[in-house]
């Protein structure tokens, strides 16, 4: 079943076309990757899906419902969550509190009950905390619940951001460069976490420059270059695709980390 589909999606900033006529789809239960050289339009695509930007043209369908142009909070409640290329945590809140913030999109209490501190309010707050602790346990951070987020090591902060996204109960999870800045061992651990999330029934789309991770866990790979979609298919198909090879090896500005070599 198709979970999310875009048709003719386009976005322009001034005179620069960031995305041009993008047709894309991801099926329920799939792990897919979105790759491409720096500036290809990958994060812009995520920003359109999550309501940060409004498309200039095209449609986004999620679970059979048009979501293009809707605000981010509305889209999150429908079941589409994300992490960011640059980690965005509440640094002076605890690890547990960061995840509880993500959970609040599923709460029922309103301002009136919160002000009156009703028994129902306290019951729900307890449920939120218990749910948040379960997400921390899932990503391996339960013992750090009372630590300030800013005091966590870099790799743990990446996991915390994922835990917060999971607290929203997503149907589709967008991961923007989840292994960025990690060493080989840490990236393998991240790949295992992503696969465990998938086994929980959550569909995953990730932007990733580390091709060893992409080729290891993806069922399908979509490739952008200068705002255009140039290829899609299985990892084996993509790493041998002439347009993909040209997009990567034909550029002199890419970092050494970006490689189509799946051996990583």
Query: In this structure, are 31 and 120 located in the same domain?
Result: no
Query: In this structure, are 68 and 104 located in the same domain?
Result: no
What average pLDDT score do residues 56-85 get?
95
Q: Report the DSSP beta bridge partners of residue 175.
A: 206
Query: In this structure, are 201 and 246 located in the same domain?
Result: yes
Number of domains in the chain: 2
With respect to residue 36, please indicate whether it lies within any of the assigned structural domains. yes
pTM tops 0.75, yes or no: yes
Q: Compute φ and ψ for 155, nearest 5 degrees.
A: -60, -35
Query: In this structure, are 66 and 117 located in the same domain?
Result: no
Query: In this structure, are 72 and 175 located in the same domain?
Result: yes
Q: What single string gives the DSSP state of each residue in 27-78? A: ETT-EEEEE-STTSSHHHHHHHHTTSS--SEEEEEETTEE-TT--HHHHHHH
Query: In this structure, are 179 and 257 located in the same domain?
Result: yes
With respect to residue 153, please indicate whether it lies within any of the assigned structural domains. yes
Torsion of CA 142, 147, 152, 158, to 10 degrees: 50
Give the residue, 123 or 86, on which the prediction is more confident.
86
Taking residue 79's Cβ as centre, other Cβ atoms within 10 Å add up to 17
With respect to residue 13, please indicate whether it lies within any of the assigned structural domains. yes
Domain residues for 28? Answer: 1-79+170-264
d(CA 187, CA 190): 5
d(CA 57, CA 97): 38
Query: In this structure, are 120 and 13 located in the same domain?
Result: no
Query: In this structure, are 50 and 62 located in the same domain?
Result: yes
Strands 65-66 and 57-62: antiparallel
With respect to residue 85, please indicate whether it lies within any of the assigned structural domains. no
Single out the residue in 104, 138, 168 at which a domain terminates.
Answer: 168
pLDDT of residue 3: 98
Query: In this structure, are 12 and 112 located in the same domain?
Result: no
Single out the residue in 118, 149, 168 at which a domain terminates.
Answer: 168
Q: Looking at 19-23, 59-63, 110-114, 251-255, which range is the least confident one?
A: 251-255
pLDDT of residue 253: 42
pLDDT of residue 262: 37
CATH of the domain at 67: 3.40.50.300
Query: In this structure, are 16 and 145 located in the same domain?
Result: no
Single out the residue in 110, 141, 168 at which a domain terminates.
Answer: 168
């Amino acid at each position: 079943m198709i979970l999310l589909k875009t048709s003719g999606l386009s976005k322009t900033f001034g005179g620069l076309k960031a995305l041009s006529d993008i047709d894309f789809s991801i099926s329920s239960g799939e792990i897919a990757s979105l790759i491409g050289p720096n500036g290809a339009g990958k994060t812009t695509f995520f920003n359109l899906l999550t309501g940060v930007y409004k498309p200039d043209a095209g449609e986004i369908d999620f679970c059979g419902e048009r979501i293009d142009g809707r605000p981010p909070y509305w889209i999150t409640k429908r079941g589409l969550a994300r992490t960011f290329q640059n980690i965005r945590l509440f640094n002076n809140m605890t690890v547990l509190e960061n995840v509880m913030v993500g959970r609040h999109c599923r709460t029922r209490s309103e301002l009136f009950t919160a002000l009156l501190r009703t028994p129902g309010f306290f019951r729900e707050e307890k449920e939120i905390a218990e749910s948040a602790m379960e997400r921390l346990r899932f990503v391996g951070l339960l013992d750090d619940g009372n630590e300030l987020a800013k005091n966590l090591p870099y790799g743990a902060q990446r996991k915390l951001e994922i835990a917060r996204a999971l607290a929203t109960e997503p149907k589709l999870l967008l991961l923007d460069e989840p292994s960025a800045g990690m060493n080989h061992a840490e990236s393998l651990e991240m790949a295992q976490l992503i696969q465990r999330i998938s086994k929980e029934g959550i569909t995953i789309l990730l932007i990733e420059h580390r091709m060893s991770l992409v080729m290891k866990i993806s069922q399908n790979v979509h490739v952008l270059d200068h705002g255009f979609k140039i290829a899609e298919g299985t990892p084996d198909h993509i790493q041998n695709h002439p347009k993909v090879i040209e997009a990567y090896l034909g550029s002199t500005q890419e970092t050494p980390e970006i490689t189509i070599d799946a051996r990583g």
